[in-house]
Amino acid sequence: MTNFQLEEFARRGGKLLEETQKNFETYKDLNIGLDKISLPKTMKPSDGAVKLVFVGQYSSGKSSIIKMLTGIETEIGAGIKTQTAHTYNWGDLEIVDTPGIHTELRPDHDEKTYYEIDHAALLIFVVTNEGFDDRMGNHFRKLAITQDRGKNMVLVVNKMDRTALGNVPEQQEIIEKDLLKVIEPFTPAQLYLTFLNTEYYFEWQTETDEELKEIYLNQSGYEKFVNNLNSFVSSRGVLSKIQSPLETLKSTITSVIGESEDLSIDRDIEAAEQLLIRRQKTLLDGKRRIRAEITEIAETLCSKIKSEGSKLAGEIAPGITEENFKRKLEAAQLQVDTYVNSYEKRIFDRLAEICDNVNQEMALIDKSQFSVNVQTNFSAPVHVPSEDERAAKMAWDIKSKSGIWENIGMTSKDAASATIPLLGGKLSSVVKDVGHFFGFKFAPWGAVNVVKSVSNVLGWIGLAMTAYQILCKFFGEDEQKKMEEELRKAREETQNSFNNIAEDIREEIISAATNKMDELTAPAFADADNKISEFRRMKQRLKELGHSLQNTLIDVQKLMDEVQQTAGT
């Protein structure tokens, strides 16, 4: 069956508007200003809905024709005394069923009917198969000729089932000749004259026999009626009324996505994500440098302490006394303490230096043109276009929405600041004071007790001294070997004690520094990771929005082209 193009185009336009409204609602949480864009509420023209006004005499079957065309159940059979003009929404179109005119029973009916006629885009004048009587003929000529409304009029002859031959060409020709007396100087073609048998149309809807269905549909006149309506709206400029809201919808969508589905704000989010990653990488590189250099310092300190142990172990030889060994042990203790204090300061000085370098690198990133551009794009003031501006192609840059920062836990003030606080405050401030950085002295740095660790060596030295004295008297070979074995054990134990202390200190330095740096930077990395994840989620959703709006834009343009082509035929 042929579709009424005006209704089809209006319905498709309404559906495209609904799709756009749904997208704006679905993605408004992105805070890119969708909630500030004024979408059309309907696809009705700015001067009101396109009206199809049915006018004619009482009992001409206007309500049945409306039902046939639209499926709308009107107030069929209402009496003259109660009948008034009724308006029915047909998508974004309006169907107006006016009271019968010139009954002389209700003169106010004519006034209401003329009001609707004045606002009609398409006037459908309905008479029965009996044609015009004097009153209806005068009324038609007043509208069509005196008031020059014939160019907006379609003339319909209804109830052709009451004729002798039915709704066939021969019967139509008879009635047409009779109508010429009234409609001249208009021709039937100029008035898109149509003959209808609505009863047959409704029979067609319920009939199951295909042959009978075809007969009913042909004699109902429905196809001819719709074709005439389509010819009317395409030739009389009615379609231009639905072009305007389509243009508005197109410009609104274009203002969001530009000329492609790649939303400009998507590129800005990607740039902000890259800035986050760059800052995160700078901090990570700083952590790696700290670990490498602290490890190197710890290794050197470890070597120094082991060297002291080696020196002390070398002092354990035949003839050494316990008192002499204690003095040398105490000297080694002092030297180890000196190393510890010296390297502790070296560690923290280097930490502060590296962190200062990291902060300088961060500052360079923040002051770079890339960073400035990112901040500018997100901190520019929001501007909502007026209707006039939208009509002038709505020159609005969607990327200027600062609300995106609120969506990732930041404020517009943050975004506009000289440095985006993506990874926390300056690191140098937390390492200038050793105590504040670690919160404690390296254990066992506060109690590096070499004396206690080597105390058991004194027992071996005592035995060695006793054996030495005995050897001086007797010089027995077995005793000499025994003494040498005890001294060897003492030297080994001394070296092992220093080695263990050195290794403990080395591991503690590396572990404490690594753990503390992780503790200090973990919130910054977690915050950056969260923001990056949010950026990526937003990019994906923006991509979905852009793709969906682009598809809608394509459909809008396609519909506009169809309307234009139809209007040009």
pTM exceeds 0.75, yes or no: no
Which of 70-84, 263-277, 309-323, 352-366 ranks highest by mean pLDDT?
A: 309-323
Mean pLDDT of 318-333: 80
Relative orientation angle of helices 222-235 and 210-220, to the nearest 10 degrees: 40
The residues with which 125 forms a beta bridge, in sequence order, are: 55, 155
Chain mean position to CA 306: 62
The pLDDT, as a whole number, for residue 83 is: 60
3-class SS letters over 395-432: CCCHHHCCCHHHHCCCCHHHHHCCCCCCCCCCCHHHCC
DSSP letter at 145?
I
28 touches 72 (CB < 8 A): no
Mean pLDDT of 411-425: 32
Range name among 180-189, 196-205, 263-272, 326-335 with the lowest pLDDT average: 263-272
Share of the chain above pLDDT 90, in %: 28
Mean pLDDT of 390-416: 33
Residue 422 pLDDT level (bands cut at 50, 70, 90): very low
DSSP letter at 36?
G
pLDDT in tens, 68-104: 999 998 865 544 443 678 899 998 899 999 876 654 5
Residue 229 pLDDT level (bands cut at 50, 70, 90): very high
Integer Cα distance of 146 and 153 in angstroms? 14
Share of the chain above pLDDT 70, in %: 74
The pLDDT, as a whole number, for residue 402 is: 33
Does residue 225 carry a pLDDT above 60?
yes
Those residues whose C-beta lies under 8 Å from the C-beta of residue 71, and which sit 6 or more positions away, are none
Q: Report the length, in residues, of the chain.
A: 569
Does residue 412 carry a pLDDT above 50?
no
Mean pLDDT of 348-364: 77
Residue listed under structure tokens 């309500």: 63
Burial 182-213 (b: 16+ CB within 10 A, else e): bbeebeeeebbbbbbbbbbbebbeebeeeeee
Residue 384 pLDDT level (bands cut at 50, 70, 90): very low
Does residue 383 carry a pLDDT above 70?
no
Range name among 179-183, 275-279, 436-440 with the lowest pLDDT average: 436-440
φ/ψ bin of 131: left (φ > 0), alpha (ψ from -120 to 50), beta (otherwise): left
Those residues whose C-beta lies under 8 Å from the C-beta of residue 115, and which sit 6 or more positions away, are 85
Q: Coil, helix or strand for 436?
A: helix
The pLDDT, as a whole number, for residue 376 is: 56
Does residue 340 carry a pLDDT above 50?
yes
Q: What Å distances lie between residue 391 and 42, 202, 386, 443, 535, CA to CA?
A: 17, 46, 9, 74, 33
The pLDDT, as a whole number, for residue 76 is: 53
Nearest to 5 by CA among 219, 243, 336: 243
The widest CA-to-CA distance across the chain, in whole angstroms, is: 164
Mean pLDDT of 530-538: 81
Residue listed under structure tokens 């500018």: 376
More confident residue, 518 or 435: 518
Does residue 336 carry a pLDDT above 60?
yes
The pLDDT, as a whole number, for residue 131 is: 92
Residue 535 pLDDT level (bands cut at 50, 70, 90): confident
Which of 38-42, 81-85, 204-208, 322-326 ranks highest by mean pLDDT?
A: 204-208
461 touches 322 (CB < 8 A): yes
- Across all residues in the chain, what is the average pLDDT? 76
Q: What is the dihedral of CA 120, 122, 127, 128, to 10 degrees?
A: -130
The residues with which 50 forms a beta bridge, in sequence order, are: 93
The pLDDT, as a whole number, for residue 95 is: 94
Does residue 108 carry a pLDDT above 90?
no
State the CB neighbour count (10 A cutoff) for residue 432.
13
More confident residue, 411 or 200: 200
Mean pLDDT of 300-317: 90
Q: What Å distances lie between residue 227 and 93, 192, 424, CA to CA?
A: 18, 9, 71
pLDDT in tens, 141-188: 988 998 888 888 999 999 999 999 999 999 999 999 999 999 999 999
The pLDDT, as a whole number, for residue 440 is: 34
Q: What Å distances lie between residue 74 and 15, 81, 87, 216, 489, CA to CA?
A: 25, 17, 9, 23, 115
Does residue 472 carry a pLDDT above 60?
no
